[in-house]
Amino acid sequence: MKNNELKAKSARYMKIVEWSGEDGCFVGSAPPLIGPCCHGKDEARVYAELCQIVEEWIEVLEGDGHALPEPLAAKKFSGKFVLRVEPALHRRLAAKALAAGESLNSYCTKTLVKA
């Protein structure tokens, strides 16, 4: 596969580099393609290594005849999802929404946006 084509496919996947307090370093992953796969003290180096790993992973998967997972950016989202919570939490949220003069949906949406 040509390098430009590989880089273009790699660019479609979200790459996450975040600090892990548990590990004491930055950890890189590219879901849904690959989970935590590299780490280090320098965030930029971890990102560069992650980009290289994603390209290599794409080559291996395609070389073995496997389909690549759909990148998150390519997925269509309806804007709806079901969230199951304990009845007591449901009641507390409904009460807080009522006290705020909002629907439960509006209250929960605003709360999630803040998170």
Question: pTM here?
Answer: 0.69
Residues 31, 55: one domain?
yes
**Into how many domains does the chain fold?**
2
Residues 52, 23: one domain?
yes
Phi, psi of 69 (to 5 degrees): -65, 155
Residues 19, 69: one domain?
yes
Residues 67, 82: one domain?
no
Residues 60, 96: one domain?
no
Confidence (pLDDT) at 67: 94
Domain enclosing residue 40, as ranges: 3-73
Residues 61, 87: one domain?
no
DSSP calls for 31-45 = TTTEEEEEEES-HHH
pLDDT tens digit sequence for 16-60 = 999 999 999 999 999 999 999 999 999 999 999 999 999 999 999
Residues 67, 84: one domain?
no
